[in-house]
Each structure stands twice: as C-alpha cells, then as structure tokens.
C-alpha cells in the first residue's frame, strides 16, 4: 500500500470529509498545490476552487472532489487540514440549481455568487 496522509475537510458548519489519501490538490493564493505524504509543513490561504483528494482503498484508487470557497490549508506530521468557509462534495451539488444560480448571478452582476456557482460547476466537471 502506498504511503498515506490523514485529511480533514471541514466547513464552518460541518465536517465534510475525513479519511486517508495519497494526494490532495488545492488552490491557494500562491497557486495550485499538491500535498503528498511527507510534504514539508505548510500553512496557506485557500482560494475558491475544486479540491481533489486521491484516496487508496483495497479496491483501487478513488477520487473525492469538493467545491471549496475560501479558508485555510495546514499540513504537519502527515495530517492535512482544509478549513473552509464553505465546502461541498461534488456528489452533493445539484447541477441544475448551480446553473440557475450562475445565470441569476450574471444577471444581477453579483461577482461573488457568480464565482461560487462557477466553482460548484467546475467541481462537478472534475469529478
């Protein structure tokens, strides 16, 4: 079995996902970052974007994708914490609702809502 790191993805209102992973890719203010077991300790600010978590199971590798809207990323001692303002697993996202929200945000010129809807749709596409 490949080396793994423990991952906790937490939103302000709930624990979104927890488990073992071989790789996590997230967007920070410094750019996209990939974290694997043994990575140097880090602390960063999360940008809105999809987070991809590669898992290893007895049945083979899997992927968990979440739409994350702001927050922090921290890694030390093979433990990765993603503390997000808002986070949704791609499997939880209602595509039609996200598309309607995007259209509404564009017509209202609401840049924040538009960005959130776009991130949701990108997370579903990555999945």
pLDDT digits over 60-117, tens only?
679 999 999 999 999 999 999 999 999 999 999 999 999 999 999 999 999 999 999 9
d(CA 120, CA 26): 14
Residue 127: pLDDT over 90: no
Q: 91: part of which helix (H) or strand (E)?
A: none
Residue 36: pLDDT over 60: yes
- pLDDT band of residue 2 (cuts 50, 70, 90) is low
- pLDDT band of residue 49 (cuts 50, 70, 90) is very high
- pLDDT band of residue 56 (cuts 50, 70, 90) is confident
Query: Per the confidence metrics, is the pTM higher than 0.85?
Result: yes
Q: What residue ranges in 3-121 does DSSP mark as E strands?
A: 5-11, 14-21, 23-28, 31-35, 42-46, 49-57, 60-76, 79-89
């Amino acid at each position: 079995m490949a080396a793994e790191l423990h991952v906790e993805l937490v939103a302000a209102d709930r624990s979104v996902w927890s488990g073992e992973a071989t790789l996590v890719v997230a967007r920070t203010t410094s750019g996209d970052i990939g974290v694997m077991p043994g990575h140097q300790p880090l602390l960063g600010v999360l940008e809105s974007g999809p987070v991809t978590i590669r898992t290893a199971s007895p049945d083979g590798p899997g992927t968990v994708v979440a739409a994350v809207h702001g927050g922090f990323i921290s890694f030390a001692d093979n433990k990765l914490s993603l503390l997000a303002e808002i986070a949704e697993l791609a499997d939880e996202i209602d595509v039609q609702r996200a598309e309607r929200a995007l259209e509404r945000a564009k017509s209202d010129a609401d840049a924040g809502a538009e960005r959130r809807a776009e991130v949701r749709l990108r997370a579903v596409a990555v999945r």
